[in-house]
Amino acid sequence: MTHALAPSRRQALAAALGFGLSVEFLGRKAFAASDRALADRKLVVVICRGGMDGLSVSPPVGDANYAALRGAIAIPGFDQPGGALRLDDTFGLHPSLAAVHRLALKGEARIAPAVATPDRARSHFEAQDVLENGATSAYGTDSGWLNRALQAMGPGKARAISVGPTSPLILRGPVEAASWSPGPGVGRDPRLPGILADIYASADPELARALASGLATERMAKIADDDARAALGETISAPGRDMSAQPASAGAARPRPAFRQGLGVARRMGATLAGFMIQPGGPQLAAISIDGFDTHANQGSSQGQLATRLAYLDAVLDGISAGMGPGWRDTIVIAATEFGRTARVNGTAGTDHGTASTALLLGGALRRGGVIGDWPTLADGKLFENRDTAPTLDMRGLFKGLLAEHYGVSRRALDTAVFPGSANVAPALGIIA
Amino acid sequence: MALDRDLAAAIAVTRFGLGAKPGQIDAVKEAGPRRWLQSQIRPVGGADQPSANPPSSAARLLEFREYQRERQAARAAGQHFDPVKFAGKLIRQDAGADFLSRMRLAATTDADFRERWALFWFNHFTVSATKLQTATLVGPFEDEAIRPHVFGRFEDMLVASSSHPAMLLYLDQARSIGPDTAAAAFLSRKGRHAGLNENLAREVMELHTVGLAAHYTQADVTEFARALTGWSISGLDAPDSVAGKFMFRPAAHEPGVRTIMGRRYPQEGMQQGLAVLHDLAASPFTAQHVSYELARHFVADEPPASLVARLKETFQETGGDLSHVANTLILSPEAWSPEARKFKTPYEFVVSAWRAAGVTPDALRDAAILTALGQKPYSAPSPKGWPEDAAAWCAPDAVVKRMAWAQRLAAGHVAGRDPSQLAADALGDRLTPLVAQAISHAETREESLAVLLMSPEFQRR
The per-residue pLDDT string of chain B (461 residues; one tens digit each, 9 = 90 and over) reads: 457 999 999 999 999 999 999 999 999 999 999 999 999 999 999 999 999 988 899 999 888 887 777 777 776 776 665 555 566 676 678 899 999 999 999 999 999 999 999 999 999 999 998 777 888 999 999 999 999 999 999 999 999 999 999 999 999 899 899 999 999 999 888 877 778 999 999 999 999 999 999 999 999 999 999 999 999 999 877 887 888 999 999 999 999 999 999 999 999 999 999 999 999 999 999 999 999 999 999 999 999 999 999 999 999 999 999 999 999 999 999 999 999 999 999 999 999 999 999 999 998 889 989 988 989 999 998 899 999 999 889 988 899 999 999 999 998 887 788 899 999 999 999 999 999 999 999 988 999 999 999 999 999 99
What CA–CA distance (Å, rounded) separates A21 from B167? 47
Strands A160-163 and A178-180, by their bridges, are parallel
Residues of A in contact with B188 (CB under 8 A): none
Strands A92-93 and A160-163: unpaired
Residues of A in contact with B175 (CB under 8 A): 297, 347-348
pLDDT of residue A187: 73
Q: What residues contact residue B398 under an 8 Å CB cut-off, 6+ apart? A: A165, A166, A179, A210, A214, B346, B373, B374
CA nearest A194 in B: which residue? B451
Rounded distance, CA A103 to CA A86, Å?
12
Runs of H (alpha helix) within B300-432 = 305-317, 322-331, 346-357, 368-372, 390-393, 396-413, 419-427
**Run of H or E including B434:** helix B433-441
Q: What is the dihedral of CA B441, B446, B448, B449, to 10 degrees?
A: 170
Burial class (CB in 10 A: 0-12, 13-18, 19+), A95: buried
Q: CB–CB of B400 and A188 under 8 A?
A: no
pLDDT in tens, A187-239: 778 899 999 999 999 999 999 999 998 888 887 887 888 888 888 874 443 33
Cβ-contact A14, A282 below 8 angstroms: no
Please give the Cα distance from A386 to B432 (Å, whole number): 62
Residues of A in Cβ contact (< 8 Å) with B197: 296-297, 346-348, 350, 352
Residue B264 DSSP one-character state? E
Query: Which residues on B lie below 8 Å from A256 (Cβ)?
Result: 82, 84
Q: How far is B367 from chain A (nearest CA, A)?
A: 14
DSSP letters spanning A103-139: HHHTT-EEEEEEEE-S--S--HHHHHHHHHH-SSSTT
Whether A371 contacts A88, CB under 8 Å: yes
CA A257 to chain centre: 26
What does the angle CA B182 – CA B187 – CA B193 come to, to the nearest 5 degrees? 115
**Residue A5 banded pLDDT, cuts 50, 70, 90:** very low
Say how many CB pairs under 8 Å bridge A and B.
184
Are A153 and A406 a contacting pair, CB within 8 Å? Answer: no
Nearest in space to B178 (alpha carbons), one of B163, B195, B191: B195
Give the model's pLDDT for residue A348. Answer: 82
Q: Domains in chain A, start-ordered, CATH in brackets?
A: 32-418 (3.40.720)
User: Residues A302-352: pLDDT tens digits?
Assistant: 999 999 999 999 999 999 999 999 999 999 999 999 999 999 998 888 999
Question: How many angstroms separate the CA atoms of A227 and A3, rounded?
Answer: 10
* φ, ψ (nearest 5 deg) of residue B399: -65, -40
Interface test with A, best of B193, B296, B399 (most A CBs within 10 A): B399
Burial-class residue B74 by CB neighbours within 10 Å (0-12, 13-18, 19+).
middle
Is the pLDDT score of A105 beyond 70?
yes
Distance from CA of A202 to the nearest CA of B (A): 9
Gap between the Cα atoms of B308 and B319, Å rounded: 16
Q: Which of B247, B303, B430 is CA-nearest to residue A203?
A: B430
The answer to whether B19 touches B95, Cβ cutoff 8 Å, is: no
For residue B247, which of B233, B228, B229, B226 has the smallest C-alpha distance? B233
Q: What is the pLDDT of residue B78?
A: 66
Phi, psi (degrees; rounded to nearest 5) at B240: -55, -35
- Distance (Å, rounded) from C-alpha A330 to C-alpha B436? 51
Residues in chain A: 433
| CB-based contact A370:A111 (threshold 8 Å) | no
Q: How far is B107 from chain A (nearest CA, A)?
A: 24
φ/ψ of residue A431, rounded to 5: -90, -30
What is the SS3 assignment for B220? helix
Length of chain B counted residue by residue: 461
Q: Inter-chain contact A352–B175, Cβ cutoff 8 Å?
A: no
C-alpha–C-alpha distance, residues B428 and B19, integer Å? 11
Contacts of B424 (CB under 8 A, 6+ apart): B431
What are B216's strand-pairing partners? none
pLDDT 10s digits, A58-101 = 999 999 999 999 999 999 999 999 999 999 999 999 999 999 99
Q: Which residue of B has its CA nearest to A164?
A: B374
Q: Which of B293, B397, B454 to mutate to test the interface with A (most CBs of A within 10 A)?
A: B397
Identify the pLDDT of residue A230. Answer: 83
Distance from CA of B175 to the nearest CA of A (A): 7
Predicted local confidence at residue A387, as pLDDT? 94
Partners of A349 on chain B (C-beta within 8 Å) are: 193
Chain B CB contacts of A171 below 8 Å: none
Nearest to B245 by CA among B178, B153, B122, B160: B160
Give per-residue pLDDT as tens, A387-407: 999 999 999 999 999 999 999
Query: How many CB atoms sit inside 10 A of residue B90's CB?
Result: 18
Question: What average pLDDT does this structure show over A271-292?
Answer: 91
